[in-house]
Amino acid sequence: MLSWNPTPCGKWKLNFDGTVLYSLHHYEVGAILRNEKGDMIMAMARKEDEIYAVDDIDALVALQGLQMIYHIGISYLILEGDSLIIMEAIHSNEEQQFSYSLLLRKISILLSSFQSIDVQHVGKQDSATFRAECSSESHQPKPGYRILNSQLSDPAF
């Protein structure tokens, strides 16, 4: 059975995933932030009716996940996703011309706000566990962002 692996002490993990559902003509994205104990701190899920390329979706959800958490003062973050192409592009931080290049620049700006960032690629099976956790905790998909089980005292939530 696949499960979430705890992070080193003091590091938080943001796991994100996106998928294109061509038969339904939409895509779905989600992100979960967990502390080193594995407690879910924040999560978001979103459904859109426009179809994009898979790499664009993965870059978009990485950006949306970082936008969700950057203001809460995390110093040490592990960014984890299942798209090897996107994770390598984020890690390399090189200027390249892709359809998602603007998203990568925005991701780079947000990542500069952390003291330490680890970029990790996970396999598709690990990603399936992530999607199962999202669906079991959120129950009913609704359009837009949702904060689930927030343990933060930020008045914006």
Rounded CA-CA distance 138/155 in Å is 21
Eight-state DSSP code of residue 22: G
| CATH number for the domain running over 12-138 | 3.30.420.10
Q: What is the pLDDT of residue 99?
A: 87
The C-alpha atoms of residue 19 and residue 85 are separated, in whole angstroms, by 15
Judged by DSSP in three states, 134 sits in helix
pTM flag (> 0.85): no
- Of residues 146 and 123, the one with the higher pLDDT is 123
What does the alpha-carbon distance between residue 128 and residue 97 come to, in Å, rounded to a whole number? 30
Strand blocks (E) in 3-148: 12-21, 26-34, 40-48, 76-81, 116-121
Bridge partners (DSSP) listed for residue 118: 78
- pLDDT tens digits, one per residue of 53-109: 888 999 999 999 999 998 898 999 999 999 999 999 998 867 778 889 999 999 999
CB 56 within 8 A of CB 99: yes
Q: Which of 126, 90, 122 is nearest to 107 (CA)?
A: 90
Q: In which residue are the tokens 């932030």 written?
A: 33
Question: In the β-sheet with 40-48, what is the strand arrangement from edge to edge?
Answer: 40-48, 26-34, 12-21, 76-81, 116-121
pLDDT in tens, 104-124: 999 999 999 999 999 999 976
